[in-house]
Structure 1
Amino acid sequence: MYETIYKEKLKTAKEAAALIKDGDEIEIGFGANFPVEFDAALAERAHELNHVAIRNGVLVDSSRLVAVGGPFLWQSWHGTGDVRRAMDKGTANHIPVRYSEIIRYVTENRDTDALVISVSPMDKHGYFNFGIDGSHFFRLAEKAKTVIVEVNEKQPRIFGRTESELHIDQVDVIIEAEPHAMGILPNRPYGDLDRKIAEIVVERMEDEATVQLGIGALPNAIGDVIADSSLKDLGVHTEMYVDSFMKMTLAGKVTGMKKTLDRGRQVSAFLAGTEALYDFVNENPSIMVGPVDYVNGAATIAAQHKMTSINTAIQVNLRGEVSSESVGTRQISGSGGQFDFAVGSYLAPGGKGFICLRSSRVDKNGVRHSNIVPDFITGTAITLPAPVTQYVVTEYGICNLKGKSLYERAKALIAIAHPEFRDELIKAAMAKGFWKP
């Protein structure tokens, strides 16, 4: 029965791309879930089209549509290297979003002419599995005018809490792609300073904590330090599942049996990492994806036992505001779920929220700059407002800003700033009226 319907909906990538017309708005994958053959086929039509809006989140694969530009305006929920360069050229733009709200964003506030996603092969019941991203595709498919799936035999099949599969009756077009490896998010190497910050954080973690990690070199360091630690019976509830969690699991640190919700399951909205990670999660009963309004919902996070969120920042100012997504108006990444996990972890029984950053950075000319600053430059996005920030960590130590006055916050942050900048930060705090000698 389903085989007949399947054949009726089967098209080549070129035929599927021919369905796109001027003025259409398309959602095309998210993270490592990316329809590479459709992407290439639509890019070949650049000379035929005038304006097509393309929406995407974290771009792990390279995209021909981003490279071509032209009639394709790339609108990103987040931001990666290729997308940032396209923004600089004016062929891409950023959509500010709290990731937990993305389902409402796309169903209530955006038109979607076509949803195009990568899926695992159809099972005997007629279902395609979203695999490494269960965050919002199910409900977006209900809203989209046309649903196009690109079948990849190498797409991992991952069990979901709900809304992790799409039935063939909900699909309009099927593309059978040549089997290809999923987009790889390599493990970024970390240095001694990252390791030091990781050690400070892990010293304050507790057995049975439920853990969320961000992305990048510093979270990789934290995952390695946890794997080498004496911690036990940890749980995982995170926006993005990365290789660090696999390392922690294989080191015997993760059981999930002390979690309040989804006991025994490692929960995320989407996954991205190495081929080893994709092999690890494929049909692994301990791994679960879920819709992002559940996974990143502050109430869900706050219900978890000893919820511990660990995220990175670009800069923190003396008021305790955190910027993790832009420098001035130049978009670096996105707000993602940092706000939700910061609030939820603080509200959780025994919960803790950490914001981690190196105290300083050295530019291409060899000049050192402080990452703890008096104020952000104009246009910088504030990811966490001051009342939300709890622990801030650099290689020079840790401070808890909750309940502190502006003077106490400035004093605590200056104490963990790079020593080269402490005197000038004190002068800046005095000029702002924060410092009380």
Structure 2
Amino acid sequence: MAQPVQQQYLQKRCSAEQAAAVIQSGDTVFMGEFAQNVEAVDAALALRKSQLKDVILVTTTRAKPLKCVEADPQRESFIWNDWHFSGLGRKNGELGLASYIPLCYHQGPQNVELYEEPNVAVVQVAPMDANGFFNFSTSCSMTPSYCRKAKKVIVEVNPNHPRCLGGLDESIHISKVSMVVEGPNSPLLQLPAAQGSEADRRIAGHVMALLEDGSTIQLGIGALPNIVGEMIAQSELKDLGVHTEMLADSYVDMYEAGRITGQRKSIDRGKMVYTFAMGSQKLYDFLDNNPVAAIFPASYTNDPAVIGRNPKVVAINNAIEIDLFTQVASESAGPRQISGTGGQLDFIMGAYKSEGGKGLICINSTFKKKDGTIGSRIVPTLSAGTIVTCPRSVVHYIVTEYGVAQMKAKSTWQRAEALIAIAHPDFRDQLIKDAEALGVWRRSNKSV
């Protein structure tokens, strides 16, 4: 007969030092995702630096510094691998203290289950409920797969985490847990709202023209999605649905304004579907035990086939640079890793599968250089070493502050013409010359 869950909890409860002691040299250790920042076990493990060698620490977008990494700048005891760089990951990557793991996000759980051999999974969770379940709270994208695959699972309990309802795989039972650590109960990461520019507002205006009643929306991260969310909340749009990877504050604003009902979705009707959430306390309070939001692993939220089952999907994502062949770079500047592929490719493909769907790549046409002059983000060819996030074969719509260009069923010269037409006017003449040199411009092309 199974032991009562409270008895199991008491038997498995231990200190952070005891939990860290089970990790051995050469182990692969999952250390959580996004707002679920393992703290107590990280600090205790850092103190064991002299006892350990080649421990691989795996995260997905770590937001708070890892004590293990700070304790080992030589990277001899602890090696940090990250599925998606945040600002922290980018900074550590430039110092040689973090390595990016290339990922097409919907394949993440499968990658773990087929090709990773995690020895230990350490995850922050909400407190155990009366039935013995710990809720993974705001991060479900790959955490369930790591917990299934790991030989030992250590949960670090934090009562500040909201209980996020599923969905699927949103919890783990005490019987599957090896050790329970009651952590420092730190508040969740508060993600400040990024402030947009006038160009962002013009882009958002073009995006709004592509939305309609009953659209199912996916917003990425940053100033532009925040502005789009603000504009939607103030609009007269009706019955919008949500199927996204990241849930942010703007979704709460749209829901409370009555724009989101999910009643015209084909699947998960009435539910705001997501795989992780990051934002302010307003978002976390909204999610706590709220059945209108449903969290799923990334293998569901980001599967293009699943995305395409809803009608009128509009996926809104950012880019860093686009070349005249319409190759999209959204994760690196040259070989310098800035973020990751994330779900951009998943949602661009998924939106195209959707009846009436639109996959949008949104980009400011220019950027300010260090010397104060401006440069074009629409370029002849991508900078040397730059990673292609979306190949030209999948690109659907490109949006700048100067307009919208649809790219499907267009030849290379037609694409170049459409792209130059929405570039900054100061760079169009030179881009035409560049297109001619690249062989993607016809003499009969329109002057733009």
Alignment TM-score, normalising by the size of structure 2: 0.96
Q: Which moved more, 1:184-193 or 1:303-312?
A: 184-193
* Alpha carbons 2:216, 2:242 under 8 Å: kept: yes
Aligned twin of 2:418:
412
**Matched residue of 1:416: which SS?**
coil
Offset, 1:243: 1.0
Q: Secondary structure at the match of 2:393?
A: helix
Does structure 2 retain, via aligned residues, the 8 Å contact 1:119–1:149? yes
Query: Do structure 1's residue 397 and structure 2's residue 403 form an aligned pair?
Result: yes
Distance 1:139 1:383 in 2: 25
1:256 and 1:264 in contact (8 A); partners too: yes
Out of 280, 301, 311, which is 1:274 matched to? Answer: 280
Q: CA deviation at 1:47?
A: 2.9
Match of 1:19 in 2: 22
Whether 2:49 is the aligned partner of 1:46: answer yes
2:63–2:88: 8 Å Cα contact kept in structure 1?
no
Amino acid in structure 1 at the alignment position of 2:159 = E
Match of 1:313 in 2: 319
| 183, 199, 208: which one aligns with 1:177 | 183
CA apart distance, 1:79? 0.4
Report the equivalent of 1:73. 79
Q: CA deviation at 1:378?
A: 2.2
Structure 1 CA distance, aligned partners of 2:68 and 2:422?
44
Q: Distance in 1 between matches of 2:252 and 2:46?
A: 36
Q: Residue 195 of structure 1 corresponds to which residue in structure 2?
A: 201
User: What amino acid maps onto 2:24 in structure 1?
Assistant: K
Deviation at 1:67, TM superposition (A): 2.8
Residue 153 of structure 1 pairs with residue 156 of structure 2: no
- Which letter maps to 2:183? A
Deviations 1:151-171 (A, max 9, x none): 000111011112111001110
Q: Which amino acid aligns with 1:17?
A: A
**Deviation of the 1:282 alpha carbon:** 0.7
Q: Is the 8 A contact 2:126 2:161 kept in 1?
A: yes
Question: What's the C-alpha RMSD, in Å, of the aligned pairs?
Answer: 1.1
Aligned with 2:137 (options 125, 131, 139): 131
> Could you tell me which amino acid in structure 1 is paired with residue 50 of structure 2?
H
Alpha-carbon distance in 1 for matches of 2:216, 2:63: 27
Q: Distance in 2 between matches of 1:363 and 1:251?
A: 39
Equivalent position amino acid for 2:314 in 1: T
Q: Where does structure 1 differ by over 4 angstroms across 4 or more consecutive aligned residues?
A: none
Runs of 5+ unmatched residues, structure 2? 444-448
Counterparts of 1:309-348 in structure 2, within 5 Å, are 309-348=315-354
Deviation at 1:72, TM superposition (A): 1.5
1:43 deviation in Å? 1.9
Letter of the 1:41 counterpart: A
Compute the displacement of 1:192 (Å): 1.2
Aligned-residue sequence identity (percent) comes to 43
CA offset at residue 194 of structure 1?
0.7
Question: Which residue identity does 1:2 align to in structure 2?
Answer: V
**Residue 61 of structure 1 corresponds to which residue in structure 2?**
64
Does residue 32 (structure 1) correspond to residue 22 (structure 2)? The answer is: no
Alpha-carbon deviation of 1:135?
1.7
Q: How far did residue 68 of structure 1 move?
A: 3.0
The residue number in structure 2 matching 1:422 is 428
Alpha-carbon distance change, 80 to 139 in structure 1, aligned in 2, over 3 angstroms:
closer
Matched residue of 1:169: which SS?
helix
* Partner-residue secondary structure (3-state), 2:317: strand
Count of residue pairs brought into register by the alignment: 437
Q: Structure 2 CA distance, aligned partners of 1:266 and 1:81? A: 27
Structure 2 residue 221 is the aligned partner of structure 1 residue 215 = yes
Aligned partner letter, 2:196 = Y
Q: Which amino acid aligns with 1:309?
A: A
1:188–1:217 CA contact under 8 A, matched in 2: yes
Which range is displaced more, 58-67 or 130-139?
Answer: 58-67
Maintained 8 Å contact 1:241/1:268: yes
- Displacement of 1:420 after TM fit? 1.5
Do the aligned partners of 1:314 and 1:325 also contact (CA within 8 Å) in 2? yes
Q: Does 1:106 align with 2:105?
A: no
Give per-residue Cα distances to partners, 1:307-344, cap 9 Å, x unaligned: 11000011111111111101111100000111111011
Structure 1 window deviating more from structure 2 (3-12 vs 67-76): it is 67-76
Tell me the distance in 1 between the aligned counterparts of 2:311 and 2:44: 47
- In structure 2, C-alpha distance between the alignment counterparts of 1:235 and 1:62, rounded to whole Å: 35
CA contact (8 A) 1:72 1:91 kept: no
Q: Does 1:361 pair with 2:361?
A: no
Q: Deviations over 1:338-393 (max 9, x none)?
A: 11110110110111111101001002221211101111122211111101111101
2:254 pairs, out of 245, 248, 256, with 248
| Deviation of the 1:86 alpha carbon | 1.4
Gaps (5+ residues) in structure 1?
Answer: none
Q: Which amino acid aligns with 2:420?
A: I
CA deviations over 1:259-300 (Å, ceiling 9, x no partner): 111000000011111111101111111011012111111111
Distance of 2:289 and 2:248 partners within structure 1: 16
Equivalent AA in structure 2 for residue 132 of structure 1:
T
Q: CA deviation at 1:45?
A: 2.1
Structure 1 position 382 matched with structure 2 position 388 = yes
Instruction: Decide which moves more: 81-90 or 343-352.
Output: 81-90
Which residue identity is paired with 2:437? A
Q: Is the 8 A contact 1:60 1:184 kept in 2?
A: no
* Pairwise CA distance, 1:61: 2.6
Q: Secondary structure at the match of 2:33?
A: coil
